[in-house]
Amino acid sequence: MKMGDAAIIRSTEDVRAGRVAWREWLGSPPGRYVLDWQQQQFDLVLADVFGFHALQCGLPQLDALRDNRMPHRIRACEPCDLPLQGGASVVVGQFEELPFASQSIDLVVLPHVLEFACDPHQVLREVDRVLRPEGRVMVSGFNPVSLWGARQWLTRGVSRRPFLPREGHFIGLPRLRDWLELLGFEFDRGRYGCYRPPCRTQQWLDRTDFMESAGDRWWPICGALYIVSGIKRVRGMRLIGPAWRPAHAPRAPAAAVSPRCESGREA
């Protein structure tokens, strides 16, 4: 995955290739490790998020809304995604254009969607459009300030196979925070996790299990993954009526004064 501060806009071919590599990687031991951690976090965080309509975009291997109690839980996927198991599903052409009315959704979950989108800025703008005021968005992604990010950065531009799909993009948390605040979102909570080193085998992931608790205590911001939440804030409007002029008490009519001549007599 690439890193940088330039605008992220990719071609459709690169995005499709990245998603194919992404689905294959999720079936590997580190991919299952990533899915398990995110499932636990979403179950914990989203259980107490209330409303009527919740939407998960992408990553059908994960059921982020499993423990959420909203009556209408929708899972949106693209044609290249695997079939969804259980729950309502909507097939969309791309997440930059969601088939939902404006201000109709209470919760939107984006697990790794921004990293493999053609235009992640447009995805967030579309989320802002469909969310109700005070609605919530949850975003998960890979943290560039981590051992996983360092390994990915060291293998860029070389012939060695990268640890994560090369077509994706790490989006740092400060950068994501700027994007959301620009749209009027307020950061509510965040969580880092997955402190084990980037190992390809289950054996080495099990051997480094002790780093999970050590990393959460000693270097909490260096987890391989993050999950953050933002709330859509809409500034209130106050109607101001016309400034009516206050009514004053009627003045007494002025008394008529007869003109006098210079000598002091009446004319």
Residue 55's nearest CA partner among 31, 79, 80, 73 is 73
Judge whether 29 lies within some domain.
Answer: yes
Judge whether 132 lies within some domain.
Answer: yes
pLDDT in tens, 161-192: 778 887 778 899 999 999 999 999 998 878 99
pLDDT at 88: 62
Residue 185's DSSP bridge partners are 232
Residue 189's nearest CA partner among 36, 46, 35 is 46
pLDDT at 175: 92
pLDDT at 240: 62
Judge whether 252 lies within some domain.
Answer: no
CA distance 86 to 239: 46
Judge whether 263 lies within some domain.
Answer: no
Which residue type does 266 have? Answer: E
CA distance 54 to 49: 10
CA dihedral angle for residue 37, residue 42, residue 43, residue 45, rounded to 10 degrees: 120
The list of the chain residues with pLDDT below 70 reads 1-15, 81-88, 157-160, 236-267
Residue 83: burial class (beta carbons within 10 Å; 0-12, 13-18, 19+) = exposed
CATH of the domain at 133: 3.40.50.150
Range of the domain at 139: 12-232
DSSP state of 109: E
DSSP string over 167-214: TSB---HHHHHHHHHHTTEEEEEEEEE--S---SSHHHHHHTTTHHHH
pLDDT in tens, 122-140: 999 999 999 999 999 999 9
Judge whether 46 lies within some domain.
Answer: yes
Judge whether 156 lies within some domain.
Answer: yes
User: What is the widest separation between alpha-carbon atoms in the chain?
Assistant: 125
Judge whether 241 lies within some domain.
Answer: no
User: How many structural domains does the chain have?
Assistant: 1
Judge whether 208 lies within some domain.
Answer: yes
pLDDT at 79: 77
